[in-house]
Amino acid sequence: MKIVVAPQGFKGSLGPVGVGKAIKRGILRVIPGVRVEIVPMADGGDGTLEALLKGTGGRLRSWWVTGPMGERVRANWGVLGDGETAVIELAKASGLALVPVGMCNPLISTTYGTGELIRRVLDLGFRRILIGIGGSATNDGGAGIAQAVGARLLNRKGAELAWGGAALINLEHIDIAGVDRRIKECRIGVACDVSNPLCGPEGASVVYSPQKGATPQGVEVLEKALRRYAEVIQKELGLDVEDMPFTGAAGGAGVGVLAFLGAELFSGVELISEVLRLGERFEGASLVITGEGRIDSQTAYGKTAVGVAKRAKALGIPTVALAGTLGDGYEEVYKADIDAVTSILSRPMTLEEAQEKTASLLEESAERLTRLLMTGKRMK
């Protein structure tokens, strides 16, 4: 028997490799001789860099950049096992995890540091770049990325806009004359963790900015600002981005990489599945176990668990998902190829306690799941 464990990281506690190892230990408690293969997964957000480097035998690197609130941070990036493709995870430079709890302000937070990482890999000679966007502390439409690579975003007086999403409400003109010429030599693929559009009721500001600290009034400002951003991009760059799928990922960062880097936007889990050759790794498996920190209605938008289950179903393999918590509407994932979902929590506990004990909770949950499956196998 072969079981494939293909989880995403559990935010704030364990990366995808650690999650996979914990689940494997739980399975082996019940079936000591079973073949368990760990395939760390991600969707463009937190854990993307770790999953891609582990899955391809890549190398980790780092560089000092501007963090989301203007502070200096040392951001990890990497090189795939092919030695030719640079991997940048937006969350490492512009992520919500970099900001102390309660201190994030998406009206002024910036993706500038992610743009600095892009400049760094260009300086080192890389022309194939994979960028994972998700887990951001920002809602600036990728304007910070654009500014970092040389674009000028100007108000009606010709002055450069300040960092942050709110400033875009005053955008009047885009000057791309200074954009780094080396970008035209690049092939850039972007793994988006959600398929939401830039604006509207399902857009970046309405759906995700409250999670980053935006008040109802702040949401209104950010929505107007991103609409203005989209208007000017269409007028001056000829791109209609307002309702385009994936442009709402990472606070609209999909727009920045599309409009100013000429990048291609993909479903994150689909792109990463291709890079890791997930279908090949699933061949011969009897079961796939995936998981992520929270499964709710948003998971069905194309998060890791659903993407993994889709690949497994194509091969006729059942998929079970382990979640830290189950949120409202988690049942939607049953319509998206996941056969069963269960929480790893064995009793009521605080978030802090759950994060401290994630490894043991995953191990115990995997053991319970395996015992249930083996019991079902023996039923007549």
The answer to whether residue 379 scores a pLDDT higher than 70 is no
Buried b (16+ CB within 10 A) or exposed e, 266-285: bbbbbbbbebbebeebbeeb
pLDDT digits (tens, 9 = 90+) for 104-137: 999 999 999 999 999 999 999 999 999 999 999 9
**Average model confidence (pLDDT) across the chain:** 95
Query: Does the domain spanning 2-41+280-378 belong to CATH 3.40.50.10350?
Result: yes
Pick the more confident residue, 21 or 12: 21
Report the distance separating Cα 145 and Cα 126, nearest Å. 17
Whole-number Å distance between alpha carbons of 217 and 277: 44
Specify the pTM: 0.91
Give the pLDDT score at 376.
81
Residue 269 to residue 305: CA distance in whole angstroms: 9
Distance CA 263, CA 186 (A): 9
CATH 3.40.50.10350 domain span(s) along the chain: 2-41+280-378
Nearest to 137 by CA among 111, 118, 117, 115: 111
Query: Residue 138 pLDDT more than 80?
Result: yes
- CATH code of the region 48-269: 3.90.1510.10
pLDDT in tens, 172-231: 999 999 999 999 999 999 999 888 999 999 999 999 999 999 999 999 999 999 999 999
DSSP assignment, residue 336?
G
Q: Which residues does 201 contact at the CB level (< 8 Å), separation at least 6?
A: 207
pLDDT recorded at residue 168: 98
Nearest-Å Rg of the Cα atoms of the chain is: 21
- At 380, the pLDDT band (50, 70, 90 cuts) reads low
Do residues 22 and 362 touch, judged by C-beta distance below 8 A? yes
Looking at the chain, which residues constitute the CATH 3.90.1510.10 domain(s)? 48-269
